[in-house]
């Protein structure tokens, strides 16, 4: 049964790190909330497409107020727990924060597009391979790059550096190494602290922190970090299928996948042929 939260409680819960919501999603949500009988399934579907809104929602549901024994990553479950009135208060609170210049929106479109595509592809891969919880794979796909909008906000030249980072990536150089050199931090670290502020499950936040450290993780052939490897295997396959290197990095070649792909596929027990078939199946479904 849902516990209704007031606008004041929502505002208090949302203090801290905020990733801006996608304007079109906000418009669609506002339209739905003005319907005589707002549909929670429609609202959950819209929220689940946006990292900022999903993060704010999970932050509230995973707060001490709800007293859940285990933190959750399911957007649908979070919507059901909050109920329509609290969800509408959340949407209204986020819409106040959502004012952005047109130039910023254009830049962030690259982030929003990859977040949705990678999340949906991760969900499909998790269902097909059966190696990882579907909700957590979707959440990681949606949130793995949530540090990017905050880096853009802090560093005006961030996207230029990120493109260079993708160009430099390979066996000897991680994407985040270029960012560390330029900014003394990177989007994986910022994303980790953002996800922690949203109270996401620890293994999901750990995967966000390490999503550009996959080469070292999969090079370790021991049975350690199996949960992390399961999550990252789905994510790295999804990123490659969705061509994140092209959308975010403006780079024709996926240098990171070239370095880690064989290790990831070996871990999940897929041949190159199997993976190509899986990639074609995902594309035929219209996921990305």
pLDDT value at residue 6 = 65
How far are the Cα atoms of 15, 62, 195, 211 from residue 59, in angstroms, in the given order? 10, 5, 9, 21
| Neighbouring residues of 192: CB distance < 8 A, sequence distance ≥ 6 | 147, 205, 206, 208, 209
Q: Which domains does the chain have, with CATH numbers?
A: 7-97 (no CATH), 102-284 (1.10.3210.10)
Q: Provide the pLDDT for residue 1.
A: 39
What pLDDT does 250 receive? 95
3-state DSSP assignment of residue 248: coil
Are the beta carbons of 166 and 158 closer than 8 angstroms? no
Regions in the chain scoring below 70 on pLDDT: 1-17, 95-100, 131-132, 286-288
> CA-to-CA distance for 82 and 90, rounded, in angstroms?
10
What confidence score (pLDDT) does residue 264 get?
96
Q: What is the pLDDT of residues 25-76, one digit of tens each?
A: 988 988 888 888 888 899 999 999 999 999 988 988 888 877 788 899 999 9
Q: Which token pair is 208?
A: 């966000």
Model's pTM, two decimal places? 0.86
Phi, psi of 198, deg, nearest 5: -85, 0
């Amino acid at each position: 049964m849902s516990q209704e939260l007031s606008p004041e409680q929502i505002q208090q819960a949302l203090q801290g790190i905020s990733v801006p919501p996608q304007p079109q999603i906000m418009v669609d949500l506002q339209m739905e909330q003005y319907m005589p009988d707002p549909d929670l399934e429609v609202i959950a579907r819209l929220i689940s497409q946006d990292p900022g809104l999903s993060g704010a929602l999970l932050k509230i549901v995973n707060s001490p107020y709800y007293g859940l024994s285990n933190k959750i990553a399911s957007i649908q479950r979070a919507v059901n727990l909050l109920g329509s009135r609290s969800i509408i208060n959340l949407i209204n609170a986020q819409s106040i924060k959502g004012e952005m210049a047109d130039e910023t929106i254009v830049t962030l479109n690259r982030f929003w597009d990859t977040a949705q595509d990678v999340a949906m592809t991760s969900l499909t891969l998790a269902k097909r391979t059966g190696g990882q919880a579907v909700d957590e794979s979707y959440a990681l796909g949606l949130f793995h790059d949530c540090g990017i909008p905050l880096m853009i906000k802090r560093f005006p030249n961030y996207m230029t550096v990120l493109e260079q980072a993708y160009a430099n990536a390979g066996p000897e150089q991680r994407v985040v190494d270029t960012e560390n050199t330029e900014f003394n931090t990177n989007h994986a670290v910022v994303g980790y602290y953002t996800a922690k502020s949203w109270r996401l499950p620890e293994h999901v936040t750990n995967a966000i922190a390490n999503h550009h450290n996959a080469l070292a993780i999969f090079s370790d052939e021991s049975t350690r970090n199996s949960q992390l490897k399961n999550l990252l295997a789905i994510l790295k396959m999804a990123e490659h299928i969705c061509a994140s290197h092209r959308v975010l990095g403006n780079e024709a070649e996926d240098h990171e996948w070239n370095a880690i792909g064989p290790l990831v596929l070996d871990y999940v027990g897929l041949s190159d042929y199997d993976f190509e078939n899986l990639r074609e199946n995902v594309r035929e479904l219209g996921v990305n």
